Chains A and B, each alone.
Chain A
Amino acid sequence: SQKIEQNSEALNIQEGKTATLTCNYTNYSPAYLQWYRQDPGRGPVFLLLIRENEKEKRKERLKVTFDTTLKQSLFHITASQPADSATYLCALGWGGGADGLTFGKGTHLIIQP
């Protein structure tokens, strides 16, 4: 069956450290993968997009990798801050944007001061 798994429901990281979030998928062949941030009571906010032919993308303190052989994406936040605390969602996409995105359940990240 098709599945998207994100590492443990909650992840506690000390401020200043690098937070690494995992997204694994089975029985999918996505053309691209996106990461979103969701705060309580709000809609998801887009962070990064990486295509199947790309290995790594960076944006400020954020980095995402995509390994289509392992069927895995890693999302890194360097120099983490308490303001980075949120739920982070991994989403798979296919050739056409009109297909919508298939989301994982998310990882709740807590950055402790």
Chain B
Amino acid sequence: DTAVSQTPKYLVTQMGNDKSIKCEQNLGHDTMYWYKQDSKKFLKIMFSYNNKELIINETVPNRFSPKSPDKAHLNLHINSLELGDSAVYFCASSQSSAGAYEQYFGPGTRLTVT
């Protein structure tokens, strides 16, 4: 059973388009995250959600909008895609927003903007 899953695995699109990435976790966790890993492999937090509510938004352009329909899902919608958005996007989850817990990562979505 996959703990954290993402779709699609690969996404190739043109500048200016709008796209979405879906994430689901079956671990019963309260907190979910989106991270971006750029071409230099640097992994950076974008968003954090706890029980469907946005906790942090780390200076991400408002072209990126996360949506959490329920505790198990956190989707990422990106408007007006730019070349600089090309990266691997990882969804992750953790048991709780309070205290120190390990995070479980999905397999990633490689986004290529041409």
Contact = CB atoms under 8 A, between A and B. Distances in A.
Nearest to B51: A98
Given A34-B102, A87-B41, A97-B98, A42 B50 contact: no
Interface of B: 4, 31, 33, 35, 40-45, 48, 50, 55-56, 58, 90, 92, 94-108
Given A100-B33, A103-B43, A31 B100 contact: yes
A101 B41 contact: no
Given A43-B105, A103-B44, A106-B41, A97 B90 contact: no
Contact of B48 (A36, A49, A98, A105): A98
Interface of A: 31-32, 34, 36, 41-46, 49, 51, 87, 89, 93, 95-103, 105-106
11 contacts: A42-B107, A43-B90, A43-B105, A46-B104, A97-B94, A97-B103, A98-B48, A98-B56, A100-B33, A102-B45, A103-B42
Contacts of B33: 100
Contact of B103 (A42, A87, A101, A106): A101
Nearest to B33: A100
Residue among A31, A34, A89, A103 facing the most chain B CB atoms (10 A cut-off): A103
A97 B31 contact: yes
B9 to A, nearest CB: 9
Contact of B90 (A31, A44, A87): A44
> Which 6 pairs show the lowest CB-CB distances between chains A and B?
A43-B105, A98-B97, A100-B45, A46-B102, A98-B55, A32-B100
